[in-house]
Amino acid sequence: MRDLSRSEKYRDQVALLETIPHIGWKSAIEILVELQDIRRFRNAKSLSAYLGLTPSQDSNGEKTRMGRVTKQGHGFVRALLVEASWRIIRDDMGLRRKYEDIKRRSESKKAVVAITRRLAIRMRLLLIDREGYALDVAVA
């Protein structure tokens, strides 16, 4: 795995993902190998759906009920990102504020899944734009 992370194909992308707090080289290469070319996800919604981070939906005539996340896609990558999200909300004040806001209306597990979805979206943009992760360190 270490050799693969240092290969020409993955080296730059691994370095970019390592700028995300609590994502190391091993997690980075596992994410990259699973997702392959990030550009295959035309938008953030398609990446979130692939990772199983979108809510299920039960439509019944006039009512639409949103349920638990679909858990589609690779469970290991989703679990890896959820774990990183639990840790990153300590460092990134922007995500921390969003987490606290959602947690007030819901519960902590749902809030961290929402943060994980945001982290996945930021990760996609980071790889497309080729710019490192920037912490939102402004105090609330």
- The string of pLDDT tens digits covering residues 28-47 is 999 999 998 999 999 998 99
Burial, 4: exposed, middle or buried (Cβ in 10 Å; 0-12, 13-18, 19+)? Answer: middle
Q: Longest Cα pair distance anywhere in the chain, in angstroms?
A: 54
pLDDT for position 117? 92
C-beta atoms surrounding 125 within 10 Å: 14
pLDDT at 23: 93
pTM of the predicted protein model: 0.83
Mean pLDDT of 63-67: 55
Q: What is the pLDDT of residues 121-139, one digit of tens each?
A: 999 999 999 999 988 755 4
Question: Which pLDDT band, with edges at 50, 70 and 90, does 140 fall under?
Answer: very low
